[in-house]
Structure 1
Amino acid sequence: MMYWHDGGMNGWGIGLMSLSMLLFWALVIVGGIVLVRHLGRTAPHSPAPPEPPTAPPQRPTPEQLLAERLARGEIDPDEYRARLNTLRGGGDPAASG
């Protein structure tokens, strides 16, 4: 017995194979688009607002430093008053009296 097509595909087989391959790639592309859109929706659309810059810590004034030295016991009250008077522009009390 002799076979005419020798086990090969006829016109319908090639057509169905081509159509199934097109459908496969269409599903892959559509799936990729859907995935990208879904991931884009779940991600925040705008970044969080930047935090306001924190101000650098302010340096203590000379009077505050002098008061801290008095509080720590580094200077006595008389020296504190004399230095405070000098800071405020009163001059040296020892020179005036």
Structure 2
Amino acid sequence: MNTLAQIAAHAPHDGWGWGGGPGWFVIFPILWFLLIVAVVVLIARAARRGFRQGPPWARQAGTDPVAILGERYARGEIDESEYRSRLAVLRGSTEPGGRTN
């Protein structure tokens, strides 16, 4: 008596197929809420870090002049006096000690 046509005719009413049941009325709002919270958190983190910097994977490493100067000093390309005088110039002071006039 149970033919394939009878099973197919009753499938949506018996919980077969794409129905899902009443549990989906609870799960979908929770999933939407979690998605919205995730988007808000990501936007807040980006705003805190500053949108102008761009995403971490797109930033160019080593473009900070002070960092480049520190790397040159660490490699031994410049000595301490040259490092301090150039650092003072980068920070906007005229004295080698880093003090502003």
Query: TM-score w.r.t. structure 1 length?
Result: 0.44
Bigger CA radius of gyration:
1
Query: TM-score w.r.t. structure 2 length?
Result: 0.42
* Higher normalized contact order (CA 8 Å, seq sep 6+, divided by chain length): 1
